């Protein structure tokens, strides 16, 4: 044994990090925690397995198609491998593959060296991660919603979010002006799964197309009656929950900048923590107009891939809060960089998250290791088996509205619980961790310049 190997024997390593190699990549495609997601495992030659997760609603293919570019590599070279694959990610769900892999590489590096991810990022700014409870708009009145949010406060949540917008008033006569028939498409979402006929495929694609019309072109407008109803809703919510707790607002609907401004001004007196995704994030100048027209903090970011996607918005002054999803943004290191960049512009960072404890822990490591952090989304209060997906974490992971990051290597998770995953397979999926050999030699001459 060489002297350097002898030294390694006294270091708290679970492996020989320099000789660690990626040997395989597999997925478990599940649903209900709370949405459709693919949990990712990256395997190595030393028995270490890294965990990642492909974003809610995204295809596992976005990760698996990158397997051939990672086999045989040392997963500890996180940034180098990230830069190799980052051209294969995109905004929204298309960032899901690159981000899932980046997280699994951090988990492997942490396990290989015996260090928590937050420590590799530079250490802690805080011990506990404040979570905000997201609550979908499934209550008919503001009072009923307020009572539901009050229950969340009683559970310990110190930060809340709810929907307020088009879908709450779409069925009220005279509340929304819409081109005839156009509202129908918003009532249903594109569904995954098998299509039996060409007609089914066409119907599914038509729904997809409706949801991909950008807001300025939807032709939807709130009437004064519609705005009155939305104001009444948030008024009733505040009557129940009071003003001590921050309340963010999401899902305004595919309305124009001008309607967004009208709504924002009407709800200023209810002091929202932020108003989210009022218009597509691509319209930098419209964001600036929106923020300049209201005192409500304007927020976007869950569909933006990479730091450079956030930069124009931050420079424009169009945002008060950014809201990256680390499963779209490019993963752990990229999101820390995004948070630091936002801090330089005086813009706060909250983090979007709607997946399993794997995504939650990846976000939590960033949240403790980035100075610019306000709150992390929590979307699974109603999913009793959410904590059972993995072993090795405190149970429940969310304790009185906060997540505590353990001092364990990598993400801090020991393993997945396969019986739980098997009980929640997506339609058409027959089992978990199936061989992915057909991706081993995927190749094309991808260079974005010549
Ligand atoms: Mg949102």
Angle between helices 332-344 and 307-316 (to 10 degrees): 10
Packing angle, helices 96-113 and 332-344, rounded to 10: 100
Tokens coding 63: 């990760």
- Alpha-carbon distance of 412 to 107, in angstroms, equals 8
Between CA 351 and CA 302 the distance in angstroms is 8
Number of residues in the chain: 450
Q: What is the pLDDT of residue 233?
A: 97
Distance 117 CA to ligand 1 centre (A): 26
**Which residue from 268, 79, 252 is spatially nearest to 167, judged by alpha carbons?**
252
Report the C-alpha gap between 352 and 95 in whole angstroms.
14
Give me ligand 1 centre to Cα 239, in Å.
24
**404 neighbors 430 (Cβ within 8 angstroms):** no
Residue matched to tokens 């990642």:
52
Cβ atoms of residues 185 and 166 within 8 Å: no
Q: What is the Å distance from ligand 1's center to 49 Cα?
A: 31
Q: What is the mean pLDDT of the chain?
A: 95
**Burial zone of 9 (CB within 10 Å; 0-12 exposed, 13-18 middle, 19+ buried):** exposed
| CB under 5 Å of ion ligand 1: residues | 250
Report pLDDT for 352.
98
Can you read off the two tokens belonging to residue 381?
């209060």
What's the CA-to-centroid distance between 352 and ligand 1, angstroms? 7
Token couple for 49: 């397995």
Helices (H) and strands (E) in the chain, counts: 16, 17
Q: What is the pLDDT of residue 184?
A: 83
- What was the pLDDT predicted at 12? 47
pLDDT reading at 392 higher than 50: yes
The pTM is what? Answer: 0.95
pLDDT in tens, 303-349: 999 999 999 999 999 999 999 999 999 999 999 999 999 999 999 99
Residue 72 C-alpha to ligand 1 middle, in angstroms?
A: 38
Give the distance, in angstroms, between the CA of residue 358 and the centroid of all CA atoms in the same chain.
12
pLDDT, average across residues 105-122: 98
> Do 377 and 401 meet the contact criterion of CB atoms below 8 Å apart?
no
Strands of 101-154, DSSP E: 128-135
Q: Output the CA 137–ligand 1 centroid distance in Å.
A: 12
**CA 172 to each of CA 140, 166, 176, 177: distance values in angstroms, whole numbers, following the listed order:** 12, 10, 8, 11
Torsion of CA 190, 193, 197, 202, to 10 degrees: 20
Helix 332-344 / helix 357-369 crossing angle, nearest 10 deg: 40
- CA distance linking residue 390 with residue 32, whole number of Å: 15
CA of 361 to the centre of ligand 1 (A): 19
Closest CA relative to residue 296, chosen from 272, 312, 279, 260: 272
Distance 88 CA to ligand 1 centre (A): 24
Q: What does the pLDDT average to over 171-198?
A: 86
Q: Rounded to whole angstroms, how far apart are CA atoms 366 and 117?
A: 8
Q: Where are the alpha helices (DSSP H) in 370-423?
A: 418-422
pLDDT at position 49 over 80: yes
Higher local confidence (pLDDT), 136 or 216: 216
| Contact assessment for residue 309 and residue 325, using Cβ atoms and an 8 Å cutoff | no
Closest CA to 110 of 100, 121, 101: 121
Residue 445 structure tokens? 């001459």
Burial class (CB in 10 A: 0-12, 13-18, 19+), 255: buried
Rounded Cα distance between 290 and 134, Å, is 24
Report the separation in Å between the CA atom of 251 and the middle of ligand 1, taken as the mean of its atom positions. Answer: 6
Distance 302 CA to ligand 1 centre (A): 7
Strands 36-44 and 49-54: antiparallel
Per-residue CA distances from 1 to 7, 47, 228 (Å): 10, 22, 77
d(CA 164, ligand 1 centre) in Å = 11
Using 50, 70 and 90 to split pLDDT, how confident is the model at 190? confident
Please, what sign has the CA dihedral across residues 382, 383, 386, 388? positive
Rounded to 5 degrees, φ, ψ at 275 are -120, 125
300 bridge partner residues: 322
For residue 162, how far is its CA from the centre of ligand 1 (angstroms)? 10
pLDDT of residue 8: 54
* pLDDT band, very low/low/confident/very high, at 6 (cuts 50, 70, 90): low
pLDDT at residue 3, as a whole number: 60
What 3-state DSSP class applies to 1?
A: coil
Distance 250 CA to ligand 1 centre (A): 6
In this predicted structure, the answer to whether residue 180 has a pLDDT above a threshold of 70 is: yes
What is the pLDDT confidence band of residue 186, given thresholds at 50, 70 and 90? confident
Above 70 in pLDDT, residue 13? Answer: no
Q: Which of 133, 148, 149, 217 is nearest to 182 (CA)?
A: 217
pLDDT bin (cut points 50, 70, 90) of residue 14 is low
């Amino acid at each position: 044994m060489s002297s350097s190997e002898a030294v390694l024997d006294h270091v708290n390593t679970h492996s020989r990090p320099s000789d660690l190699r990626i040997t395989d990549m597999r997925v478990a495609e599940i649903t209900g925690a709370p949405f459709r997601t693919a949990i990712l495992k990256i395997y190595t030659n030393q028995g270490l397995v890294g965990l990642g997760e492909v974003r809610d609603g995204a295809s596992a293919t976005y990760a698996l198609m990158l397997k051939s570019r990672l086999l045989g590599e040392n997963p500890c070279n996180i940034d180098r491998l990230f830069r190799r694959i980052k051209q294969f990610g995109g905004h929204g769900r298309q960032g899901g593959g690159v981000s899932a892999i980046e997280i699994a590489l951090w988990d492997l590096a942490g396990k290989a060296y015996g260090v928590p991810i937050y420590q590799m990022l530079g250490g802690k700014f805080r011990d506990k991660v404040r979570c905000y409870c997201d609550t979908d708009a499934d209550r008919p009145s503001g009072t009923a919603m307020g009572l539901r949010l009050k229950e969340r406060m009683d559970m310990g949540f110190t930060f809340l979010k709810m929907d307020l917008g088009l879908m709450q008033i779409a069925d009220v006569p005279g509340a929304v002006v819409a081109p005839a028939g156009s509202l129908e498409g918003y009532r249903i979402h594109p569904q995954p799964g098998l299509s039996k006929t060409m007609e089914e495929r066409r119907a599914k694609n038509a729904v997809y197309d409706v949801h991909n019309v950008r807001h300025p072109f939807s032709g939807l407008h709130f009437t004064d009656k519609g705005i009155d109803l939305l104001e009444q809703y948030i008024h009733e919510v505040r009557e129940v929950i009071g003003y001590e707790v921050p309340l963010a607002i999401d899902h305004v609907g595919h309305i124009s900048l001008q309607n967004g401004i009208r709504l924002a001004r009407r709800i200023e007196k209810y002091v929202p923590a932020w108003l989210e995704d009022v218009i597509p994030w691509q319209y930098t100048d419209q964001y600036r107009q929106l923020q300049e027209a209201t005192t409500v903090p304007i927020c976007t970011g869950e569909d933006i891939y990479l730091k450079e996607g956030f930069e124009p918005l931050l420079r424009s002054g169009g945002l008060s809060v950014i809201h990256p999803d680390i499963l779209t943004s490019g993963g752990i290191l990229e999101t820390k960089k995004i948070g630091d960049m936002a801090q330089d512009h005086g813009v706060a960072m909250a983090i979007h998250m709607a997946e399993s404890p794997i995504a939650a822990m990846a976000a939590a490591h960033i949240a403790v290791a980035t100075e610019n952090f306000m709150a992390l989304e929590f979307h699974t209060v109603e999913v009793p088996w959410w904590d059972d997906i993995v072993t090795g974490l405190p149970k429940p992971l969310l304790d009185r509205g906060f997540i505590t990051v353990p001092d364990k290597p990598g993400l801090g998770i020991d393993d997945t619980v396969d019986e739980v995953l098997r009980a929640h397979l997506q339609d058409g999926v027959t089992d978990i961790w199936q061989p992915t050999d057909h991706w081993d030699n995927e190749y094309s001459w991808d260079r974005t310049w010549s």
